[in-house]
Amino acid sequence: MKVISKIQEMQDYVLTMKKQGNSIGLVPTMGYLHEGHLTLAKKARQENDLVVMSIFVNPLQFGPKEDLSTYPRDLDRDLKLAENEKIDVIFHPSVEEMYPNPPAVLMHVGDRTDVLCGKSRPGHFDGVALVVSKLFNIIQPERAYFGRKDAQQVAVIDLIVATYNFPIEVVAVDTVREEDGLAKSSRNVFLSDEERQQAPVLFRSLANAQSLIEEGENNPDSIIKFISEEITEKTNGKIDYVEIYSYPELKEIVELKGTIIIALAVKFPKARLIDNIVITNV
């Protein structure tokens, strides 16, 4: 497994591999790998000749009150896990390599960003858009792999690819969960023992809501009320949002028809957890 930290070296390597007829799959990450990332890597390994995993904690997608300085990092551990998954290349640039100067050309995502996490994180998806576009240009993959846990991010990246005509297939991979249903996340390590016991309520509330819809419930407000009460009564977490939209458009709906996303975010003292389900209701 190669570890590359320089953009020019990465581009030269990609050019050589493409000249040899190799397809490239990209797994973008911010490191501190967990089973969710490794599932993306497995999928990429199945579908491409060459798999590149980027490990880069992107400062542009963190707000002034967010956890950039405390975001978990363990490169040695990440490299061992990646090698076990037969990753071909780790692209691990420094912040100075990716942004040698303050970016003079910025990106603004004008759709799909003013709801869910984007509502409380202004500028977050602009930072995502810029770094993902840079990675796409540097690595030039045929396919890029993202987890459905970050469903809004997937919707935004789909929009970026369509808007800028990147010749890339965005592959969304199902959320990887613990045995009790909690979505795998780098931030789970910040939960106390009590909070960790409560956290599976988030997914259970979503699953129960889906059952209600399958039984005929068609009112978004009723579903939102049900989920909110479940979380409030059974956890100490503070609800950031519980919202329902069309997907991937992320537009408001008045009835539960078509493909929809039910998404939530809950804050614990040291961790903000997100989860969602996407369902099609005819």
Q: Domain ranges for the chain, please list them.
A: 2-173, 186-275
CB 259 within 8 A of CB 134: no
pLDDT tens for residues 115-128? 999 998 899 999 99
Return the number of other C-beta atoms located less than 10 Å from residue 85's C-beta.
19
CA distance 266 to 36: 20
Specify binding-site residues: 30-37, 61, 147-150, 153, 176, 184-187
Beta-bridged to residue 25, according to DSSP, are: 51, 143
Cα torsion angle, 266, 267, 268, 271, sign: positive
Q: How far is CA 123 from the centre of its chain?
A: 16
Specify binding-site residues for beta-alanine: 61
Mean of per-residue pLDDT scores for the chain: 95
pLDDT tens for residues 203-217? 999 999 999 999 999
pLDDT one digit per residue (tens) for the chain, 282 residues: 999 999 999 999 999 999 999 999 999 999 999 888 999 999 999 999 999 999 999 999 998 777 788 888 999 999 999 999 999 999 999 999 999 999 899 999 999 999 999 998 899 999 999 999 999 999 999 999 999 999 999 999 999 999 999 999 999 999 999 999 999 888 898 999 999 999 999 999 999 999 999 999 999 999 999 999 999 999 999 999 999 999 999 999 999 999 999 999 999 999 999 999 999 975
Same fold, 2-173 and 186-275: no
* Domain 186-275: CATH class, spelled out: alpha beta
pLDDT at 120: 86
CB 173 within 8 A of CB 148: yes
Residues with active-site annotation: 37
CATH-assigned architecture of domain 2-173: 3-Layer(aba) Sandwich (3.40)
